[in-house]
Structure 1
Amino acid sequence: MPQAAELLGCLPRLHRYARALRRNREDADDLVQDTLERAWSRVSLWQGVGDMRSWLFSIMHNLHVDALRRGRLDLVDLDEHTPEIPIAAAQAERLALRDLDASLAVLPPEQREVLLLVAIEGLAYAEIALVLGIPIGTVMSRLSRGRERLRGLMNGEPGHRLGAAMPQFLGGRGIPALAIRPRSVAMPAQPIDP
């Protein structure tokens, strides 16, 4: 079945996005499993229209938001539950990654989701709009505000507590990966309800 192969091909991205949303390995694994169960039970609804990856991210996003609304999630700091990485990295890089993780954690969820979908998953604005069920203009404003707030947090600007270690590889103005534009994608002409 071609859908099964395509669905399995999306697993690494789903795991990465789930870890970013849940910040806890077990909860992230549960979210991926729930996403795959829902997708598999409704694969006939997809019918090859659009990108399966965007469809799966939409399902994952909706399941995550539903869990937040029900109050079933206890987000946990990964530093407390993840053993030290055995690879020797420069101290400044470890501090910068810690600051980045902490900075992303304090961003409003709406801004964090858009930033992650652009920077990590490389989705186009139109794809993000479909995944989150919001207009493209809202995607762009959340991305702009999220980048600005993340930059302030990472640079230790007044009103922000983070930013103790901002190494040169981050360029001093933020994270280069977050400054890139997502690829363009042709999306079906359908209205997106706000």
Structure 2
Amino acid sequence: MRIYLPLADIELYNQQLYSRFAWAGNDDFCQLWGIDSQDGEEAEDMAMTMASMSCLENSGDAYTGRIVAALDADGSEIGATSDLGVFEVKTGFSWQRLVSLHLDSPEDLELCQQVRAALPAEQAAFWCRGNYSGEENQETPGWELWQKLAAEPLSWYDRSELEYLRRLLAANAGS
């Protein structure tokens, strides 16, 4: 199954790919988000989007954008579902398992900062898991910014570009 791990920029230097949670476009996830479970591409796109939005839970990253790693995993490598389509990750994955990385384009970094400033991390955590506590949340500027950012596609990078991305993010962090 294809899983999506939200990452902080510093995690690109870890020995293994690891995130506490992974998103997958499985049947439960599709039902939660109103996606046709036969449309695997839409399910994967939404799973990647929600994984990316969970990056907003981390406020201390040098890179203010979202980073998502896509990889294939066996069901035995992930734990129980914490929310529909969200799995606890049992252990790290080898970097050789990486299929692709997805990052915000430079043009979207300001919007990421606006969302982080307008939205408590706990709220981002709830929303990216499909947990909405009522209509009142959906009328806030934070909700509008969250939706706008969620609609922005991430740039796609092949796993062969990992070293390039590490250098690029390190250079941007230093400037």
TM-score (normalizing by structure 1) = 0.29
1 or 2 for the larger relative contact order (CA 8 Å, sep ≥6)? 2
Higher fraction of strand: 2
For the pair shown, the structure with the greater C-alpha radius of gyration is 1
